[in-house]
Structure 1
Amino acid sequence: MMSPWIACALGAASFLALLLLLFFVLHIVANGFLSGSGKGLLKNAKRLRRKGRRPRKFTLKEIHMYSEEFSNKIGNGSTNTVFKGNLPDGTEVAIKRPNAESMCSLYVAARTEIQIELLSRIRHQNLVNLVGHSDEAGCQVLLFQYASNGTLYENLHGNEHLTWKQRTKIIGGIAYGLHYLHSCVPPVIHGDLCSQIVLLTEDYAAKIGGIGKSLPGPASAEKEKRDSTTQAEGMEKGEYSSARDVYAFGILIIEIVSGKMITSADGACILDQWTRDISPSQEKMLDFIDPSMHDVPIPELAAAREIVRLCLRSEPHRPTMADIVELVLKDLKITIEAAAPLTSPVTLRGLLELLV
């Protein structure tokens, strides 16, 4: 009969082995499936194809059923209407159906085809990933991951009061997501990064949407206004580059921290102060933040201000997103795990769900 001491030792060894296995798988998932490396992306795309995990094709009949006949409208776009739906396995999805006018637009149809092709090859915890689509009867309906807390814009300029911790988590998530896009081969340029297209999950993790939509063609009045911001720093209208995405990220941090759009008078003043080489006093820095926040750590606020200053530098002195994520990790202390949604495979909870 086995001694109790030996049984205890074997049990402890088994538990330790399980922990090491979980850590190893988590490392593989975080650095392979969700990494920003181009090689990782290409290998992952091949793996998705082999395992049949590419975005699924749905029938219109299925989409009508999952959306309950398009009864729960949650948003309107310039070319589509968005409805909430539920898949049979309980997954919540946002279903984008083209408007009647856009169904006749060759430009919209071509852009949607390119968007599907692009989104079928990328996947990251901080992106609004494509779940599936339907192209029956010449109508492209897209199904995306659903984020229950709406857009970042709504949370910053509505009745919500985001804490400093939530805001730094959002900044980190956007940084990691953008870095992933820029690390793809070839790089994926967003071209329209703003608070309106960043969605927030139930635990306030950021997911970047609108990927693949910034193509030459008609632009909305809102986008024209946002473009004027990047044009002011020397870029031509319609010119998309990783440097422009970095600049837009800096502008977005100002909005996240201050709660103000830089197109407003107050926002323009903050932009001027944050881009100066001379660091403001601690008291002056606190004047720049959203007044609904309390107990903001000055070192972290100073770190956010420095990231903004670097992002808004003129080329070729502007850093890459690879440089920015290092600062996010080092100075804001936001790891890729901390920026992930709770259900992401990069978190332990998400990993256990993936293994089960």
Structure 2
Amino acid sequence: MLKEYQPTIELLPFNARIQSFPYNELKFGTSLGEGAFGKVYQSHWNNNKIAIKVLKRNGFHNEGAKKSFISEVHALGSIQHINLVHLLGYCIKGSKHMLVYEYMSNSSLDKWLEEDNLLDWDRRLCIIMGVAQGLAHLHKCNPIIVHLDIKPQNILLDQDHTPKLADFGLAKILDGKDEDVMRLASTSTPGTIGYMAPEIQEKKQASAKSDVYSFGVLLMKLLNGSPFILNGNEVRIHKFIQWARKVHVEENGFQQIFNVVINNSISGFDDTEAKSFLEISLQCIKKDPNQRPGIQEVLQHFEGLNKKKGIQYIPTSIPVYFNILSKRFVSAFKLK
């Protein structure tokens, strides 16, 4: 093991459920995708499918790969939740640095949003509630973990379409309360344009509310699915968000945004729920972080929706909660 990573591994608690994988026993199969700092392959271990992320270690990517490795091991090495991808372990062989994860058979959310009819309404709601639960768990950790790159590409779906937050390469640790702000390096702009909170771009600052902003954009994307169209032209997400913020304060502004965002052709569409979720999204994307709700407030709203549907709310720290949701959405989970 390289000495530069030893402190990160030693900081993990004794109950950390990750292991060091021997390189000569890892078998690389089909490529599942590629990000800024690494490529992911399908593999097998003890007759079980796994995913291996091979980090880039050359030139421009060298420092980024190192930080990605440390961030992911530190963030996922000692916590587990039904809505966080499970880090099984790592492998370091010379200049090769790998992270080993559970295999997610239904790929990432962005693949499903490319076709409007692949995700019906109930399935979308189940996904967004799962993402919120995962974020809430991160924000309740001590110290707090902020993801800083919430987007459809980083939401993975397992065989039951359970959503799991993935790619913690940009994650940061806050040593204080959830309202605390972390100053970022002057050259650091973690996140993805469109989903990145404005305070990160403009002030080089990040907090748990930065994740809430990204969650709001993700929620809006799930309500729509297709590219956003303004005046007959497709616009990028960040341009649309700027328009929505401006219009929202105008008379009849909410209805204008509703008419553009909401895709009522989604199977099982519910107009009342759509309005409720859109209002949550608009609160989350406010420019001032102090005006955004905390993710726990968002979950309280979801709890109210569940009760109206006749679903008993149980925190997802208890696995039975997802079993209840699974029964509620069992027909939605089956591909047509």
Normalising by structure 2, we get a TM-score of: 0.73
Q: Which residue of 2 aligns with 1:303?
A: 276
Note the C-alpha offset of 1:284: 7.9
Note the C-alpha offset of 1:294: 3.2
1:282-331 C-alpha deviation (Å, 9 max, x unpaired): 89846532354134122211210121122123332211111111111212
Distance change in 2, residues 1:246/1:104 (3 Å)? closer
Q: Which residue of 2 aligns with 1:55?
A: 18
Q: 2:205 aligns with which of 236, 239, 246?
A: 239
Distance of 2:263 and 2:283 partners within structure 1: 21
Q: Which residue of 2 aligns with 1:276?
A: 248
Contact residue 58 and residue 132 of structure 1 kept, 8 A: yes
Q: Choose 285-294 or 133-142, whichever is displaced more.
A: 285-294
Q: Which residue of 2 aligns with 1:75?
A: 33
Note the C-alpha offset of 1:108: 2.0
Note the C-alpha offset of 1:212: 3.9
Q: Which residue of 2 aligns with 1:329?
A: 303
Contact residue 96 and residue 141 of structure 1 kept, 8 A: yes
Normalising by structure 1, we get a TM-score of: 0.69
Residue identity opposite 1:226 in structure 2: G
Q: Does 1:140 align with 2:105?
A: no
Q: Larger % of strand: which? A: 2
Give SS of 1:140's match.
strand
Q: RMSD over aligned Cα, in angstroms?
A: 3.6
Give SS of 2:289's match.
coil
Q: Choose 73-82 or 101-110, whichever is displaced more.
A: 101-110
Q: Which residue of 2 aligns with 1:196?
A: 153
Q: Which residue of 1 aligns with 2:62?
A: 105
Q: Does 1:230 align with 2:197?
A: yes
Note the C-alpha offset of 1:103: 10
Distance of 2:37 and 2:254 partners within structure 1: 46
Residue identity opposite 1:239 in structure 2: Q
Q: Which residue of 1 aligns with 2:141?
A: 184
Alignment of 1:30-69 (within 5 A): 49-50=14-15, 54-63=17-26, 67=27
Q: Choose 161-170 or 199-208, whichever is displaced more.
A: 199-208
Q: Does 1:93 align with 2:50?
A: yes
Note the C-alpha offset of 1:142: 0.7
Note the C-alpha offset of 1:241: 0.9
Structure 1 gaps, min length 5: 1-44, 350-356
Give SS of 2:41's match.
strand
Q: 1:252 aligns with which of 200, 210, 218?
A: 218
Aligned residues: 289
Distance of 1:164 and 1:133 partners within structure 2: 37
Q: Which has the higher contact order (CA 8 A, sep 6+)?
A: 1
Contact residue 21 and residue 91 of structure 2 kept, 8 A: yes
Residue identity opposite 1:72 in structure 2: T
Distance change in 2, residues 1:315/1:132 (3 Å)? closer
Q: Larger % of helix: which? A: 1
Contact residue 188 and residue 204 of structure 2 kept, 8 A: no
Give the fraction of aligned pairs with identical amino acids, expressed as a percent: 24
Q: Which residue of 1 aligns with 2:175?
A: none
Residue identity opposite 1:205 in structure 2: T
Note the C-alpha offset of 1:153: 1.1
